[in-house]
Amino acid sequence: MHKSQVLSYFLIAFLVGTLIGSFWHFGEQYFWIFIGLGTLFFGVSAYHRTFGQTVAGIKRRKVGFVIGFCIILATGGIYRFQQFDADHSRVTQFNDREAGGKGISVRVVGYVAGDVRERGLQSQFPFEVKEIIALKRTFSAGERVLVTADNRAGYRYGDILTIEGAPQAPKNSESFDYATYLKKQGIRSIFSSPDILAEGSISLGLWERSSVVVYRALQGLKSRFESALIGTIAEPEAAYIQGVLLGSRSAIPERLQDAFATTGTSHILAISGYNITIVAEAVLGVLLFWFRRRRAIWIATAAIILFTLLTGASASVVRAAVMGLLVLFASGYGRLYDAKNGIILAGALMVFFNPFILVFDIGFQLSFLAVIGLLYLYPIFQRWAQRAPSLTGLKEIALMTLSAQVMVILLLVGYFHSFSLVSLVVNILILPIVPAVMLFGFIAGISGMIWIPLGKIIGVVAWALARYQLWIVEHAASFSFASVSISLPWIIIVLAYVLLIGGIWWFYRHHGS
Amino acid sequence: MARICLNHHNADLYGKAFPHHYVRRNASHISSMSVRMDTNRDKIIAGIIALVLIVLAFSSSQAAGQKDGLLKIYFLNVGQGDAIFIEAPNGNQVLVDGGPDSAVIAELARVMPFYDRSIDAVVVSHPHSDHIAGLIDVLKHYDVGYVIQAGEQYDSLEFRSWQEAVAQEHTIEIDTVAGKQINLGPEMTFTIIHPLKSVLGTATDKPHDDNVVAMLQYKHVKVLLAGDMEAAVERILVNNNIDIDADVLKVGHHGSKTSTALPFLDAVTPQAAIIQVGVKNRYKHPAELILSRLENFGATLYRTDTDGMIRLISDGTSYYLNKQ
């Protein structure tokens, strides 16, 4: 066994552990049993006489070591999930508690910890609770809740607030699993219309304090950028450009969001690894005219990091950026072996920091699968389509789209019970323009921050490109056959993925990389 | 030659110690590749420029087609609330109220050309949230020249947010009082007919009593914008013999039974009536009583909850109303 292969087994073991932890809860005694089992494998393999001193015997002992370690790491994954789960359910204990027909009020102190969305007369923001004051006692906490305030007081990231209200568990509607949607962000309680006292005092650790300061500055930059954008470009194109550039969907009219879903193009509106890969490739393509490939890759890396910071560096964008960088380096240096470990390592780290994303974050799963498609399926398709003409890069974009789509399509069917028939055509028609829209939208926003009239001139170009894309999406969505509904049981979907990944593995085994 | 070598993606593997025979053997291949990349780049840039030009040509010809020297009034479909966009024949634009949320932005985008990022004036009928909340978003999206409102103080979070948003914009504030007239172009006026006395700076907890009522006149066509005026204000207008005769009435207070009294209708004699109201709103607006009253009066009825956006076009002698 190769060293790097062993590492990937360890990481996969951790991921499997987290997966198991997400579905079943284990008591303390089980952990001892699992660790005991792992130690047993260790102990047996450590004894030098086990399996004899032959080459085969030594190999078996090594396998035994690896299995033992995998079991312990999987146990670690289960433990990590349960510990994370418990840490993030202090406020949750007060959810929907009632006394005399009214919710029991809890007072919490903390800070605004994310984008403040202002809609109609309300503002909504994630809030990091540091202290809970209930039943005349103060508990410390580190948990995120969602606050919906009845005003637009212009709250900003990092504002320290004291909030008093009755927390509620999120309620699912028929069509939308709100609880799961919030859970992946670590949110399991909502304060609607609480009393908000602006002042509050909490002491944060050095790390948390400095990250709040940095984020606050980034968020300020982002909101200035956004207001420059909506002041220079007409709607709904401005909202669409915000979606493409910053991943914020809230301003896009619902009708349009539905059109994106029907045509299988919603991924454009969220910053995903796929999305960032396209940007990176475009930047790289331009840079290659002037720089050597390796230098160009480093400049593209810097561009991605800058982009991530400018968009506010939210957890999902950081995840996407990591995925995008992985694809960039894998295609740049062309070492598939490292790419595989890199992607598993990135996935494992992300899951370690927030175990909820593995099962609850559709975006994470889609991103991950799309990146696997780009790294492994794309070269296969490229080999098959070697003879086809490039058509100014159109072939490459079509194949990239196809390889990402093939990987995610079953998962999309599993979640949304529908399958878009126009998806491939629409994606090929609009994806080549996405980097151009992002570029001009970005320049328009930046120049709008400096001098509005300049932003308006460049904004016209961004508007026209966005108009074209929206026109395609709207018209494609209006076809009656744009989307068909099908339901598949999860077991079939899981099996299909096992077959798909097995097939890819088999292909590389027999045809080399 | 050196530049061409750099373009080749394997070049850096060989670094500066590039073997001469390699260069010679591959020179033709490398340079042809470089040429191909250059033409590719040019093609992509040309394609993007062509696309931008086609879209711009198409949309500006559409926008130009709308510049026909006619008055247009759009009663926007913003749910339970009022929002009326007026475009004078010479292009001057006025927005009366902004509805309860950002829905007004999507509606404005339907009726304004893409390059137009400004609105000449915004009129606030009164400080209730279903009339001003959307205006906060309007200020964010558009340059607004004038804000025209009664100027009373009303204690609500929404109104405070609105006032803060106005203070941040570089707009000119104008207070309203009966008789004030705003010229929107040749033979086109926007005349304030209520409040009769200035309420600037006074505090109120019943904004409907100070509601800004305006008469829009283009040559012979008159449109009465009633805001949320209730029967008490209607009585004041009728008793003071103020000329409120109009062709089209924007029905007061979303068709609530507290407005549109008979003596008022007698004075207005509208041929058409427009109700801006949300689907299944919790106030159960519009009232059956008012609907049948308007019908008995012979007024053609339009409602944003069933008809969506409603457009009025006029050349000053006749007018035409339709759903959009």
Are B193 and B242 in contact, with CB atoms under 8 Å apart?
A: yes
| Interchain contact, A230 vs B136, CB within 8 Å | no
**Per-position b or e across A346-381, b if 16+ CB within 10 A of its CB:** bbbebbbebbbbbbbbbbbbbbbbbbbbbbbbbbbb
pLDDT of residue B308: 92
> A123 vs A156, A189, A371, B158, CA distance in Å?
11, 16, 35, 12
- The dihedrals phi and psi of B323, each to the nearest 5 degrees, come to -80, 155
Task: Report the 10 Å Cβ neighbour count for B315.
Answer: 16
Q: What residues contact residue A489 under an 8 Å CB cut-off, 6+ apart? A: none
DSSP string, B155-174: --HHHHHHHHHHHHTT-EEE
pLDDT of residue B15: 35
| Interchain contact, A292 vs B141, CB within 8 Å | no
- Separation CA B262–CA B290 (nearest Å): 10
Q: B152 to chain A nearest CA, in Å? A: 20
Test the A interface: residue of B5, B41, B42 with most A CBs within 10 Å = B41
A464 touches chain B (CB under 8 A): yes
Strand order in the sheet with B181-185: B181-185, B188-194, B213-218, B221-225, B248-250, B272-275, B300-303
- The residue whose two tokens read 């966005």 is A466
Q: Which residue in B55, B116, B158 is closest to A121 by CB distance?
A: B158
Which residue in A28, A141, A123, A31 sits closest to A77, CA to CA? A31
| Interchain contact, A393 vs B12, CB within 8 Å | no
Q: Which residue in B11, B101, B109 is closest to A235 by CB distance?
A: B109
DSSP string, B16-81: T---HHHHHHHHHHHHHHHHHHHHHHHHHHHHHHHHHHHHHHHHHHHHHHH-SS-EEEEE---SSS
| Interchain contact, B52 vs A464, CB within 8 Å | yes
| Helix A273-287 × helix A394-416 angle, to 10° | 170
Are A51 and A57 in contact, with CB atoms under 8 Å apart?
A: yes
Helix H or strand E segment including B153? strand B153-154
Which chain A residues touch B63 with a CB distance below 8 Å? Answer: none
Q: How far is CA A268 from the centre of its chain?
A: 13
Q: B243 to chain A nearest CA, in Å? A: 37
Which chain B residues touch A392 with a CB distance below 8 Å? Answer: 40, 43-44, 47
Helix H or strand E segment including A14? helix A3-23
- The dihedrals phi and psi of B175, each to the nearest 5 degrees, come to -90, 160
**3-state secondary structure at position B313:** strand
Which chain B residues touch A230 with a CB distance below 8 Å? Answer: 140-141
A454 touches chain B (CB under 8 A): no
Q: A508 to chain B nearest CA, in Å? A: 24
| Interchain contact, B112 vs A234, CB within 8 Å | yes
> A375 vs A332, A495, B119, CA distance in Å?
11, 21, 50
Which residue in B123, B181, B191, B126 sits closest to B153, CA to CA? B126
Which chain B residues touch A251 with a CB distance below 8 Å? Answer: 102
Residue B1 burial by Cβ neighbours in a 10 Å radius (0-12, 13-18, 19+): exposed
A288 touches chain B (CB under 8 A): yes
Helix H or strand E segment including A12? helix A3-23
- Separation CA B84–CA B87 (nearest Å): 10
Are A110 and A160 in contact, with CB atoms under 8 Å apart?
A: yes
> A4 vs A10, A111, A243, A338, CA distance in Å?
10, 42, 38, 8
pLDDT of residue A306: 77
Q: Which residue in A234, A251, A468 is closest to B114 by CB distance?
A: A234
Residues 217-246 of A with CB under 8 A from B: 227, 230-232, 234-238
pLDDT of residue B17: 38
The residues facing B123 across adjacent strands are: B96, B148
Q: Which residue in B48, B59, B100 is closest to A436 by CB distance?
A: B48
| Helix A434-450 × helix A237-246 angle, to 10° | 100
| Helix A452-477 × helix A254-262 angle, to 10° | 50
Q: A433 to chain B nearest CA, in Å? A: 8
| Interchain contact, A230 vs B52, CB within 8 Å | no
What percentage of residues in chain B have a pLDDT greater than 70? 87
**3-state secondary structure at position A117:** strand
| Interchain contact, A294 vs B12, CB within 8 Å | yes
pLDDT of residue B93: 95
Q: What residues contact residue A305 under an 8 Å CB cut-off, 6+ apart? A: A321
pLDDT along chain A (513 residues), means of 10: 78 89 84 88 77 77 86 90 78 74 80 78 84 79 84 78 86 74 79 79 78 82 86 90 82 86 81 68 73 80 79 70 76 60 81 83 79 84 82 74 83 81 83 82 88 90 94 89 81 90 86 64
**Per-position b or e across B31-63, b if 16+ CB within 10 A of its CB:** eeebeeeeeebeebeeebeebbeebbeebeeee
Q: B168 to chain A nearest CA, in Å? A: 13
Q: B40 to chain A nearest CA, in Å? A: 6
Handedness of CA A159, A160, A162, A163 (dihedral sign): positive
Helix H or strand E segment including B120? strand B118-123
Residue in chain B lying closest to A297 (CA): B9
Are A98 and A104 in contact, with CB atoms under 8 Å apart?
A: yes
| Interchain contact, A292 vs B6, CB within 8 Å | yes
| Interchain contact, B47 vs A460, CB within 8 Å | no
Q: How many CB pairs under 8 A join A and B?
A: 93
Which chain A residues touch B164 with a CB distance below 8 Å? Answer: 154
A292 touches chain B (CB under 8 A): yes
- The residue whose two tokens read 């990590």 is A80
A375 touches chain B (CB under 8 A): no
Q: Is the pTM of this model over 0.80?
A: no
> A421 vs A264, A370, A396, A476, A482, CA distance in Å?
8, 19, 21, 10, 5
Whether residue A355 has a cis bond before it, omega within 30° of 0? no
pLDDT of residue A223: 83
- The residue whose two tokens read 């009164």 is B126
| Interchain contact, A433 vs B133, CB within 8 Å | no
A429 touches chain B (CB under 8 A): no
E runs forming strands in A344-453:
418-420
E runs forming strands in A183-257:
187-192, 195-197
pLDDT of residue B173: 86
- Give the end-to-end CA distance of chain A in Å, rounded to a whole number: 19
Which residues of chain B, if any, have pLDDT below 70?
1-41
Greatest extent of chain A over all pairs of C-alpha atoms, in Å: 81
Q: Give the pairing type, strands B172-175 and B153-154.
A: unpaired
